[in-house]
Amino acid sequence: MTSTDTTSPDTTTPAGSASDGTRRPTVVRRDRVVIRFAGDSGDGMQLTGDRFTSETASFGNDLSTLPNFPAEIRAPAGTLPGVSSFQVHFADFDILTPGDRPDVLVAMNPAALRANIGDLPRGGIVIVNTDEFTPRNLTKVGYAADPLEDDSLADFQVHRIAMATLTRGALESTGLPKRDAERAKNMFALGLLSWMYSRPQEGTERFLREKFAKRPELAEANILAFRAGHAYGETTEAFAVVYEVAKAKLPAGTYRQITGNTALAYGIVAAPHVTGLEVLLGTYPITPATDILHEVSRHKAFGVTTVQAEDEIAGVGAALGASFGGALGVTTTSGPGIALKAETIGLAVALELPLLVIDVQRGGPSTGLPTKTEQADLLQALHGRNGESPVPVIAPQTPGDCFAAVLDAVRIAVTYRTPVILLSDGALANGSEPWQVPDVAQLPTVDPAFATEPNAPDGSGAFWPYLRDPETLARPWAVPGTAGLEHRIGGLEKADGSGSISYDPANHERMVHLRAAKIAGIEVPDLEVDDPTGDAGLLVLGWGSTYGPIGAAARRVRARGLPVATAHLRHLNPFPANLGEVLARYRAVLVPEMNLGQLASLLRSRYLVDVQSHTKVSGQPFKAEELQDVFLTHLPGAQR
């Protein structure tokens, strides 16, 4: 891979006039562009970003997105806490992150400008909705003077556009009240950006018609605003250039755009297909996991039942009850919910029943930062229960990868009769990327292999619920309704084999070790290392959503001719068998994490390797640029 996430020199086609007399601006080819739409929570920035992303996906660019919004549904209008933004990075090559710094900032009000301008590089493009730059709104966010009037934006190319006024004008014929007409200004902005970046428009018009199918007058108004924005770019002299970003050369296949939460939901919906089991999703709404429930509940036809329980505990309880009944129980939550579910997950460890627990991590502790990302639930997932309570933990690395991660978790849960925790996070949940649609016929299947016969080794015809498979150490899964296999299980310690209650000291010692050995023995693939030159001294090891920024930073470092190796852990418990050997192979190991060094600490204690930790807990993902700098500071030591 020779591309980096840094921009290549532009190639341009000069301006001119078309034969029909319309102005033809200069066309600039770019290999990548980062756009950030920012406005008030009520301005529809998430929808605007989402539509631009869909246009970009259907055009065939590679892309990655980063929505960023407040936890409040409608924070006070025009304030800094109320700013909502959506960043999209698209390119003609495969990119790994939503981009560090936007090339273009669309600011719908002073608050959006103030909150985001610091991220823009010199020379960046700022498109401002001037209608909101009133003295009152400026004061609200602490601007003493109007930044559009003084020279504070001198470093940028600023486009001042009265978007609300222009939208209102374009919608005059519709007879919509002024306020309603102005609400379509986000579509004006979308139309303008679609023109600037040569995006296809049909998808958005179709989308608006469907979204407002019951209010056709609103559909028309939004489409008019969208077209007005497009026409504004085309006809005014303000914009001298349009940009083109060619299609990306991705591996052959059919692609769609997908968010992490949608991919998790699809994994759950596909679980009956790969296991033959019905699925019961027992859950309680919590940011940023709730969209999984929304999506799954739309697909009942595939044998998935959703139970919106009275609380987090009941959600996982219903899931575990369904698993006892021979379905696959699934629960979805975020960190606070994992805390509440801990006792039930411990029960599932003791019962040795399949259970899938999905944690979409957010900033903590406690309620923390509900809409921001963090990876600080790793130790909670691994150890957050009473007693020796081993649970397999796996983590997807990109939004699209969430689908495969669910199926991997399902394989482990069903094969080994165990709860499995899947750690996604806020960045994966709402971020999106192109996803190569998998062939359903090729999805890996897993056999639940229910017990059907008594199994007592003494030939008594009794059923022993804790007689283990010698290979996997999994116990038999005998479901109610199977004559002759009636049995009782519970949270009390059970006698090895027969499953009767046992307080025998030696038996408890044996059972604790058996449960640990079962999880430690789960088959997971070896860790693959990306070390293109083969002579790197520094290994950067990550897990979860840091995959993108770590990879992008490694590309930048390699582009300077410096060697760096990267590897990414999907399985946090058990670790891949070759992990110790991989760690020992490098002179230096660096672990970037969005916590205070949880994986690093595990690796140090487990492998006695002097792992270096780099951490970030700002609620925002790593940027490629910052990680590049961190890698560079670690390289000299690694070369010695």
Partner 1 sequence: MTMIDLGMPGLGGLDLVPAAEAPQTAKDFTSDQEVRWCPGCGDYAVLAAVRSFMPTLGIKRENTVFVSGIGCSSRFPYYMDTFGMHSIHGRAPAIATGLAVARPDLSVWVVTGDGDALSIGGNHLIHALRRNINLKILLFNNRIYGLTKGQYSPTSETGKVTKSSPMGSVDHPFNPVSLALGAEATFVGRAIDSDRKGLTAVLAAAAAHRGTALVEIFQDCPIFNDGSFDVLRRPDTAPQRLIPLTHGEPIRFGPKGEDGLGTSVVVRAGFGLAVAEAADVDPADVVVHDVTDVHLAFALSRLSDQDLTHTVTGVFRDVRRTTYDDAVRAQVGEAREAAQRAGGPDLQAVLRGRDTWTVDE
Q: Which residues in 239-298 contact partner 1 (CB under 8 A)?
A: 247-258, 266, 269-270, 273, 278, 280, 282
Give the binding range for partner 1 (CB under 8 A) out of 189-197, 225-233, 322-330, 468-476: 322-330
Residue in this structure with the two tokens 């700022």, named with its chain if needed: 126
Smallest distance from partner 1 to CB 87, Å: 20
> Rounded to whole angstroms, how far apart are CA atoms 99 and 203?
24
Asked if 410 touches partner 1 (CB under 8 A), the answer is no
Which CB sits closer to partner 1, 500 or 578? 500
- What value does the CA radius of gyration of the chain take, rounded to a whole number of Å? 27
Residue of 612, 600, 593, 613 whose CA lies nearest to 549: 593
Amino acid at 491: G
> Rounded to whole angstroms, how far apart are CA atoms 599 and 592?
9
Asked if 73 touches partner 1 (CB under 8 A), the answer is no
Which CB sits closer to partner 1, 322 or 446? 322
Which CB sits closer to partner 1, 52 or 239? 52
Asked if 363 touches partner 1 (CB under 8 A), the answer is no
237 φ, ψ (degrees, to nearest 5): -85, -5
Give the binding range for partner 1 (CB under 8 A) out of 93-101, 149-157, 229-237, 308-316: 308-316
Asked if 438 touches partner 1 (CB under 8 A), the answer is yes
> Rounded to whole angstroms, how far apart are CA atoms 234 and 241?
10
Strands 538-543 and 432-436: unpaired
- Cis peptide bond prior to 365, omega within 30° of 0: yes
Size of the site for partner 1 (CB under 8 A): 73
Chain-centre distance of CA 363, in angstroms?
14
> Rounded to whole angstroms, how far apart are CA atoms 396 and 358?
11
Query: What mask of x and - would describe binding to partner 1 in positions 456 to 485, judged by CB under 8 A?
Result: ------------------------xxxxxx
Asked if 181 touches partner 1 (CB under 8 A), the answer is no
Asked if 431 touches partner 1 (CB under 8 A), the answer is no
Give the binding range for partner 1 (CB under 8 A) out of 153-161, 306-314, 549-557, 618-626: 306-314
> Rounded to whole angstroms, how far apart are CA atoms 159 and 509?
72
Which CB sits closer to partner 1, 45 or 347? 347
Which CB sits closer to partner 1, 46 or 257? 257
SS (H, E, C) 539-606: EEEEEHHHHHHHHHHHHHHHHCCCCCEEEEECEEECCCCCHHHHHHHCCEEEEEECCCCHHHHHHHHH
Which CB sits closer to partner 1, 103 or 401? 401
> Rounded to whole angstroms, how far apart are CA atoms 477 and 458?
20
Smallest distance from partner 1 to CB 309, Å: 7
Smallest distance from partner 1 to CB 215, Å: 16
Residues 303, 399, 419, 542: which binds partner 1 (CB under 8 A)?
303
Amino acid at 192: L
> Rounded to whole angstroms, how far apart are CA atoms 339 and 266?
25
Asked if 60 touches partner 1 (CB under 8 A), the answer is yes
Which CB sits closer to partner 1, 312 or 593? 312
Smallest distance from partner 1 to CB 99, Å: 21
Residue 626: partners with Cβ closer than 8 Å, 6 or more residues away:
100, 553, 616
Which CB sits closer to partner 1, 438 or 580? 438
Which CB sits closer to partner 1, 191 or 326? 326
Asked if 574 touches partner 1 (CB under 8 A), the answer is no
Residue of 230, 315, 316, 327 whose CA lies nearest to 278: 327
Which strand (E) or helix (H) includes residue 68? strand 62-68
Instruction: Show the CA angle centred on residue 69, arms to residues 63 and 70, nearest 5°.
Output: 165
Asked if 394 touches partner 1 (CB under 8 A), the answer is no
Residues 299, 508, 510, 585: which binds partner 1 (CB under 8 A)?
299
The 83-91 sheet, strands edge to edge: 62-68, 83-91, 32-40, 104-107, 125-129, 157-161
Asked if 2 touches partner 1 (CB under 8 A), the answer is no
Smallest distance from partner 1 to CB 96, Å: 18
Residue of 584, 585, 604 whose CA lies nearest to 593: 604
Smallest distance from partner 1 to CB 457, Å: 17
Asked if 215 touches partner 1 (CB under 8 A), the answer is no
Which CB sits closer to partner 1, 133 or 207? 207
Which CB sits closer to partner 1, 101 or 256? 256
> Rounded to whole angstroms, how far apart are CA atoms 362 and 368?
8
Amino acid at 592: P
Which CB sits closer to partner 1, 148 or 250? 250
Smallest distance from partner 1 to CB 21, Å: 34
Residues 27, 77, 158, 489: which binds partner 1 (CB under 8 A)?
489
Smallest distance from partner 1 to CB 299, Å: 6
Smallest distance from partner 1 to CB 393, Å: 22
| DSSP letter for each residue of 118-142 | GGSPTT-EEEEEGGG--HHHHHHTT
Residue 269: partners with Cβ closer than 8 Å, 6 or more residues away:
279, 295, 296, 299, 302, 304
For the segment 26-55, give every residue that binds partner 1 (CB under 8 A).
Answer: 54
> Rounded to whole angstroms, how far apart are CA atoms 548 and 96?
4
Query: What mask of x and - would describe binding to partner 1 in positions 10 to 29, judged by CB under 8 A?
Result: --------------------
Which CB sits closer to partner 1, 495 or 617? 495
Asked if 128 touches partner 1 (CB under 8 A), the answer is no
- Angstrom CA distances, 530 to 64, 373, 576, 613, stand at 22, 26, 16, 20
Asked if 453 touches partner 1 (CB under 8 A), the answer is no
Asked if 188 touches partner 1 (CB under 8 A), the answer is no
Which CB sits closer to partner 1, 14 or 481? 481
Smallest distance from partner 1 to CB 460, Å: 10
For the segment 525-564, give every residue that binds partner 1 (CB under 8 A).
Answer: none
